[in-house]
């Protein structure tokens, strides 16, 4: 049975005036750990449920996610508007371009070459913010539902995020068994691909007030966040599909991506 999120004694998030105290930080850490554990257990139940009933479209999941956090949407709208004005993501790889040959560590510290993976079959490469982002979690769940179809087509899902301190282990647990989780150390890959930007002091502060310390999550005080993006790269390393949107609340539909993958493998 899929449960509603548990209520936490004392409320969540803490008040901004409490977050700076030692007790406040301890409470935030405990609450985040508890919610992450709960989300992981529920995501596994959701995975089993989706085997018995039709998967929910990612678009619907993301819309529902936005509806559940209306107090954040105005801030997000202003933030995304700034990114659009700055043309964030415009220099990312386009269809027909060669995708850069990246080599990144996986969640166990072993370096993996995208060029080597391409030789084995098409890649679906997803750049994301990480397991702390509910929109990213919904995307992961949608791809987990699509995993049998993706594996049947001979393609591999590569999920890239910049989280440190073992957090990518949690992502690997959320992903399907055939997916590969890579760590974008210090956002080096996303910066090189034009998929990174400065979050700004207001958003950084709001996240911190809610117990989300981006410096701790990413291991750097740069204040940089990645732009979520999805690419399909063929065996020759050429981009056949590119979805880049500065609005992190919008993601590529796995069904649309699968149409491209099937054209490459049939």
> Whole-angstrom Cα distance, residue 141 to residue 40?
11
Q: Give the predicted TM-score (pTM) of the model.
A: 0.75
- At 167, the pLDDT band (50, 70, 90 cuts) reads confident
- The predicted structure's pLDDT at residue 266: 77
Domains of the chain plus CATH, in order, are 16-265 (3.40.30.10)
What is the tens place of the pLDDT at every residue in 114-144? Answer: 999 999 999 999 999 998 888 998 898 899 8
For residues 69 and 248, the answer to whether their CB atoms sit within 8 Å is: no
Residue 56: per-residue pLDDT: 53
Q: Residue 223 to residues 55, 84, 117, 205: CA-CA distances in angstroms?
A: 35, 18, 31, 10
pLDDT at 53 over 50: no
- The stretch 248-256 carries a mean pLDDT of 94
pLDDT at 38 over 70: no
The per-residue pLDDT for 169 is 75
Distance CA 222, CA 84 (A): 21
Q: Lowest-confidence range among 62-71, 104-113, 175-184, 191-200?
A: 62-71
Q: Which residues contact 181 (CB under 8 A, 6 or more apart)?
A: 106, 107, 159, 160, 161, 168, 171, 172, 175
Q: For residue 265, what pLDDT band results from cuts at 50, 70 and 90?
A: confident
């Amino acid at each position: 049975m899929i449960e509603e999120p548990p209520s936490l004694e004392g409320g969540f998030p803490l008040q901004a005036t409490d977050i700076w105290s030692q007790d406040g930080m301890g409470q935030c850490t405990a609450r985040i750990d508890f919610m992450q554990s709960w989300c992981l257990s529920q995501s596994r139940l959701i995975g089993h449920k989706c085997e018995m009933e039709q998967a929910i479209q990612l678009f619907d999941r993301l819309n529902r996610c936005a509806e559940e956090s209306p107090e954040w949407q105005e801030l997000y709208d202003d933030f995304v508007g700034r990114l659009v004005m700055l043309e964030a993501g415009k220099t990312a790889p386009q269809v027909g371009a060669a995708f850069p040959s990246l080599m990144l560590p996986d969640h166990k510290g072993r370096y993996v070459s995208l060029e080597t993976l391409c030789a084995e079959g098409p890649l679906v490469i997803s750049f994301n913010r990480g397991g702390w982002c509910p929109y990213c979690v919904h995307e992961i769940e949608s791809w987990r539902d699509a995993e049998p179809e993706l594996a049947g087509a001979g393609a591999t899902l590569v999920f890239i995020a910049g989280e440190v301190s073992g957090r990518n282990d949690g992502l690997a647990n959320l992903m399907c068994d055939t997916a590969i989780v890579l760590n974008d150390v210090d956002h080096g890959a996303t910066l090189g691909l034009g998929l990174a930007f400065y979050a700004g002091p207001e958003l950084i502060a709001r996240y911190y007030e809610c117990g989300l310390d981006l410096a701790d999550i990413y291991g750097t005080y740069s204040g940089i966040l990645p732009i979520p993006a999805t690419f399909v790269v063929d065996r020759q390393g050429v981009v056949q599909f590119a979805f880049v949107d500065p609005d992190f609340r919008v993601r590529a539909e796995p069904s649309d991506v699968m149409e491209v993958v099937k054209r490459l493998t049939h």
